Amino acid sequence: TTTTTTTVPPVTYGVSYNGNTSGSGSVPTDSTEYSSGASVTVASNSGSLAKTGYTFGGWCTTQPAAGSACGGTSRAAGSTFAISSNTTLYAVWTANTLTVTTDEQGGSAIANASTTTGGSIASSPGTPTRAGYTFNGWFTATSGGSAISFPYAHGQTANFTLYAQWTAALSCAAGGACVVGDTGPGGGIVFYVAGATFTSTGSDCATACRYLEAAPTDQSTGVAWATSAAACYADGSDSGTNDCQNYSIYSNTSGQAVSRTASVGIGMGMANTNQIYARLTTAGSASTSAYAAGIAWAYTNNGKSDWHLPSRNELNELRQQAASVGGFAATEYWSSSEYVDRYYASAQAFLGQAQFIQVKSVATFRVRPVRAFG
């Protein structure tokens, strides 16, 4: 009988290391052939593996994406494990924390932020303010480019800066937002800011008016409200042939009582002024310099010609802001509002604040033109 003996070589396993998208350095090598169950000591990062924006975080039995945690079994340098198969250990890369510096470029301070390599910024760092400027958003450059939309996947691997960019805000005079005391587009001083748009028929702003500005100075130190031009209306009449100092600027067709009541409102001064001009000058041939509304109608400043004598309520707003506008005398000023009794028109004292009515044929009061704009 012949006996044959076969020698089976022992099963051995190897360990290899993978840099897992490292940018520099070299992986450690382990040339040992390990028998099943043998203890393996995990190598350190002896070859100085590196990846920009990341920190070496040990090894993993599965291949994690950069910045992600190990999805398999973590193996720290110097630790041991019992080997049971050929094994590859992959470098784990932990994303660095990056500082995001906010450069407000003249605006109010906004706190710096932080993010991680390859990460994103969930929301805007904040909204800075800067007097006389409009904030355009955060950008990656001091000028130019497009504003960042948040959340923002920045793609950065090192600390970086976000820059606030600005546009000089339009002045009130150039069409920007206005506050009381600003200089308006007509060169006057803003004295009224509406909460919503209003209508000023005959004004450039028409149905989209937001502000009233007053001429910088009085345009008359004393003038009558009306002349004796024979162009106005008796009560209930549509024949405009009566003395305008004693009769109405409104015809019966237009509804005299309704027109007089409406004439006091904000936005009515221009329509009042045009109506007075139509009767006294267009129909009655009176010089515009001879009556209050005519002086306001003829006034021009800074290229604007849609000035008017303020309505009763507009004049009251002007009185409330007299200190902001300036240049007023401690005396009475005419409004363009004819009273419900046609012999009278509304006026206001600027020494005090009293609103009152005065006979159109008697008094001579001051004139301060105003204009509406949007």
pLDDT attached to residue 10: 82
* Token pair belonging to 50: 């590196």
pLDDT attached to residue 195: 97
Backbone dihedral angles phi then psi of residue 257, each to the nearest 5 degrees: -65, -45
Place of tokens 């009042």: 272
Can you give 53-83 as a three-state secondary structure string? CEEEEEEECCCCCCCCCCCCCEECCCCEEEC
pLDDT attached to residue 60: 98
Which of the 8 DSSP states describes residue 169? Answer: P
SS3 97: strand
Q: How many CB atoms lie within 10 A of CB 49?
A: 20
- CA 262 – CA 218 distance, rounded (Å): 26
- CA 286 – CA 284 distance, rounded (Å): 6
Sign of CA dihedral 178, 180, 184, 186: positive
- CA 151 – CA 299 distance, rounded (Å): 55
In CATH, what class is 97-168?
A: mainly beta
Q: What value, to the nearest 5°, has the Cα angle with vertex 280 and ends 274 and 282?
A: 70
- CA 257 – CA 261 distance, rounded (Å): 6
Residue spans per domain, the chain: 12-95, 97-168, 189-373
- CA 373 – CA 184 distance, rounded (Å): 8
- b/e code 259-279 from CB counts within 10 Å (16+ = b): bbeebbbbbbbbbbbbbbbeb
Place of tokens 């006389």: 132
CA atoms within 13 A on the CB side of 35: 2
State the Rg of the chain over Cα: 42
**pLDDT tens, the chain, 374 aa long:** 677 766 667 899 999 999 999 999 999 999 999 999 999 999 999 999 999 999 999 999 999 999 899 999 999 999 999 999 999 999 999 999 999 999 999 999 999 999 999 999 999 999 999 998 999 999 999 999 999 999 999 999 999 999 999 999 999 999 999 999 999 999 999 999 999 999 999 999 999 999 999 999 999 999 999 999 999 999 999 999 999 999 999 999 889 999 999 999 999 999 999 999 999 999 999 999 999 999 999 999 999 999 999 999 999 999 999 999 999 999 999 999 999 999 999 999 999 889 999 999 889 999 999 999 99
CA atoms within 13 A on the CB side of 178: 28
- CA 19 – CA 23 distance, rounded (Å): 9
* Token pair belonging to 129: 């303010």
pLDDT attached to residue 104: 98
- CA 241 – CA 246 distance, rounded (Å): 12
